[in-house]
Amino acid sequence: MRAIAYRQPGPIDRANALIDVELPRPIPTGRDILVAVRAISVNPVDAKVRAGAAPFDGRDERVLGWDAAGVVEAVGPEATRFKVGDEVFYAGDLMRDGSNAEYQLVDERIVGHRPRSIGFAEAAALPLTAITAWETLFDRLKVDDQPASGARAILIIGGAGGVGSATIQIARART
């Protein structure tokens, strides 16, 4: 399968900062699903990993890519949540190959069905920003649907970026 990878961390402006590679097509085991990647998004985490993290598991290269959307191509023997042909979206795992490839193995427990109201590109733009927004509102700030005081106001500074705009939309939908 074709993928975009790097061999050494460092500045992105080097001539060989990103390279085209051919890798074996992954085979799902356990609870993994194999996704035929249809769309990806570029995230700040991609730039941070690219700048400082070496390839792992004795490999010569590392495939970047966090958020993606695609179609389930195969499922591992313990996978129960998805079947071949399901359209999915997800934020991947830093300890595995990323989504900048034709296929990606993903643990089914961090995958969702692609919302029918949006396309693959839009779905690929959502996972990490939406997870960050949700966790900020409800896990960290403990924003409640029914505040005791009856007040329903929240100030979101920097709401024009990915996380900020997702936070505004989630907060608005929950009030």
Inform me whether the pLDDT recorded for 149 exceeds 70: no
Backbone angles phi, psi at 21, to 5 degrees: -135, 160
Inform me whether the pLDDT recorded for 63 exceeds 90: yes
* Residues in a beta bridge with 39: 69
pTM of the model: 0.87
Any idea where the domains of the chain sit in the sequence? 2-124, 127-174
User: CA torsion sign, 50 to 25 to 76 to 90?
Assistant: positive
Tell me what pLDDT residue 58 has. 87
Which structure tokens are listed for 166? 């997702």
| Rama region for 159: left / alpha / beta (φ>0; ψ in -120 to 50; rest) | alpha
Percentage of residues in the chain with pLDDT exceeding 90?
68
CATH class of 2-124: alpha beta
* Residues in a beta bridge with 97: none
